[in-house]
Amino acid sequence: MGFLSGILSVFAGALSAYSAVESRRENKKAARQADVAADLQAKQKRSELDRLRSKQRTAYARAGVKLDGTPTAVIEDSQEQGQLDIDLIKLNGSNQADVFKSRARSAGFNALIGGAGTTAGLFGKDRSGVSLVSRLF
């Protein structure tokens, strides 16, 4: 391997490591955004449920129905179903964040491997038995 090809190899390795570091950073950011988005959706769903409960109680009261027995069961059932929706929103957000976190870990590992390969390229020897670093100095 000639001097120029050695330099190009080191440059390519450094570029690959940089790209992996950037990928890691972007995936960590996306994971945080997925968590925030899921929390926001869950809060919105909670607000919808609270409004629904108020509307149901108001509708029963206007109709002259006491909030005992079936009306209460209907309201509670609506709230339980809504809570399941909230739990699903949070689970989906967590799963999405986990995918991005996994990608970030993988990119970090790739950056580490790329950096190690670049370093090894600097100290490795070419066909003539001379290391690239020794040619630089």
- Over residues 8-25, the pLDDT tens digits come to 666 666 677 777 778 888
Residue 57 · residue 67 · CB < 8 Å: yes
Q: What pLDDT, on the 0 to 100 scale, is given for residue 9?
A: 67
Range of the domain at 108: 3-136
Q: What pLDDT, on the 0 to 100 scale, is given for residue 133?
A: 43
The pTM of this model reads 0.68
Closest CA to 41 of 96, 100, 87, 97: 87
Q: What pLDDT, on the 0 to 100 scale, is given for residue 115?
A: 58
Q: What pLDDT, on the 0 to 100 scale, is given for residue 135?
A: 44
Domains in the chain, number: 1
Please, which residues have CB within 8 angstroms of residue 111's CB and are 6 or more apart in sequence?
17, 18, 20, 21, 24
